[in-house]
């Protein structure tokens, strides 16, 4: 199983690889730039070289960049929308340069302007920022819990992809907490089957490339995005195992985004998950 967590790359990607190895991870996720402000640091060719050596040494594959939360492709505000277009285009190139397999993005929030208007803006943003891109990094749209004016159901994502003519380099990142918030009850095995059916009907299983593995503070259908430590939330051991052992999902790279105080606690969760398996 490709199991890891969210880690910092502020000291270099090679240092993140060492940190991953130290907690028993063989994949990881990271913010591509400051998650709140959006400023981006320069990644030198020397750093990329050290990183490529480290990832081979520690067998770290694949890795996922995550765009900052300030990026909103559905924003009706011109400044925020232009920022989203710039960051998506820029970070696809930056991630391609470091050899990141995936770049994860929240589809966006329509901020009260309506789902249809929000979807139109997302599609227009991606037409400008993603379609001209010809690198190796795939852009993954993340499933959301449906908080407020969030866009990000499987149906939403399928509509976006269809309007873009199903580009090869675009996929989906599932999130176990968000899916719980959206109404799937993974304590019931048949609910995992329902998710698989819904995926097949909308985006197709081949489009699902990664998973964020989080327990949930709240039960299904609350539309709340509140991550919990592994085994300490609604899903617990049973719900998480039902999801991650399903044949449709067991080979996906999985990254923890649980509320830890330091990255070593991710190591405890990785050990716990592997002991369950």
Mean pLDDT of 208-230: 98
- The confidence score (pLDDT) of residue 261 equals 97
What are the tens digits of pLDDT across the range 89-133? 999 999 999 999 999 999 999 999 999 999 999 999 999 999 999
Residue 66 marked ligand-binding: yes
* 36, pLDDT greater than 90: no
**What is the per-residue pLDDT across 83-95, written as a single tens digit (0 to 9) for each?**
999 999 999 999 9
Residue 35, pLDDT score: 87
pLDDT in tens, 161-214: 999 999 999 999 999 999 999 999 999 999 999 999 999 999 999 999 999 999
Number of domains in the chain: 1
Looking at residue 134, what is its pLDDT? Answer: 97
Residue 142 in marked binding region: yes
pLDDT score of 80 more than 90 = yes
Rounded to an integer, the average pLDDT of 40-64 is 97
Is residue 223 annotated as involved in ligand binding?
Answer: no
Is 175 annotated among the ligand-binding residues? Answer: yes
**Look-up: residue for tokens 């400008």?**
128
Looking at residue 121, what is its pLDDT? Answer: 98
Count of all residues that appear for the chain in the document: 277
CATH number at residue 142: 3.20.20.150
How would residue 38 be classed by pLDDT, with cut points 50, 70 and 90? Answer: confident
pLDDT, mean of residues 232-244: 98
Indicate the average pLDDT of the chain: 97
Q: What is the mean pLDDT of residues 248-254?
A: 98
pLDDT at site 162: 98
Residue 106 assigned to a binding site: yes
Output phi, psi for 56, to 5 deg: -70, -45
6 marked as part of a ligand binding site = no
pLDDT at site 197: 98
How would you write the chain as a 3-class SS string?
CCEEEECCCCCCHHHHHHHHHHCCCCEEEEECCCCCCCCCCCCCHHHHHHHHHHHHHHCCCCEEEECCCCCCCCCCCHHHHHHHHHHHHHHHHHHHHHCCCEEEECCEECCCCCHHHHHHHHHHHHHHHCCCCCCCCEEEEECCCCCCCEECCHHHHHHHHHHCCCCCCEEEEEEHHHHHHCCCCCCCHHHHHHHHHHHHHCCCHHHEEEEEECEECCCCCCCCCCEECCCCCCCHHHHHHHHHCCCCCCCCCEEECCCCCCCHHHHHHHHHHHHHC
Range of the domain at 48: 3-276
The predicted pLDDT at position 20 comes to: 98
Q: What is the pLDDT of residue 13?
A: 98
Q: Is 257 annotated as a binding residue?
A: yes
Handedness of CA 77, 79, 85, 87 (dihedral sign): negative
Closest among 208, 217, 209, 205 to 259, alpha carbons compared: 217
What pLDDT score was predicted for residue 91? 98
β-bridge partners, 216? 227
Residue-level pLDDT at 37: 78
């Amino acid at each position: 199983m490709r199991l890891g967590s969210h880690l910092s790359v502020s000291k270099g990607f090679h240092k993140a690889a060492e940190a991953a190895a130290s907690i028993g991870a063989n994949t990881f996720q990271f913010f591509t730039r400051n998650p709140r402000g959006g400023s981006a640091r320069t990644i030198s060719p020397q750093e990329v070289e050290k990183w490529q050596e480290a990832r081979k040494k520690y067998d770290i594959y694949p890795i996922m960049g995550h765009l900052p939360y300030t990026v909103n492709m559905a924003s009706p505000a011109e400044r925020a929308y232009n920022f989203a277009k710039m960051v998506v285009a820029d970070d696809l190139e930056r991630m391609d340069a470091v050899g990141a397999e995936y770049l994860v993005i929240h589809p966006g929030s329509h901020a009260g302007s309506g789902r249809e208007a929000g979807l139109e803006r997302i599609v227009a943003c991606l037409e400008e920022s993603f379609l001209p891109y010809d690198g190796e990094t795939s852009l993954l749209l993340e499933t959301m819990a449906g908080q407020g004016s969030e866009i990000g159901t499987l149906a939403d994502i399928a509509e976006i992809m269809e309007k873009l003519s199903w580009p090869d380099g675009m996929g989906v990142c599932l999130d176990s907490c968000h899916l719980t918030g959206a109404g799937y009850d993974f304590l019931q095995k048949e609910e995992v089957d329902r998710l698989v059916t819904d995926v097949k009907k909308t985006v197709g299983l081949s489009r699902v490339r990664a998973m964020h593995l989080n327990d949930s503070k709240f039960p299904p259908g609350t539309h709340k995005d509140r991550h919990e430590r592994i085994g300490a939330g609604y899903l617990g051991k049973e719900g998480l195992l039902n999801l991650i052992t399903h044949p449709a999902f067991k080979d996906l790279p999985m990254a923890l985004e649980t509320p830890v105080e330091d990255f070593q606690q991710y190591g405890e969760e990785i050990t716990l998950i592997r002991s369950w398996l």
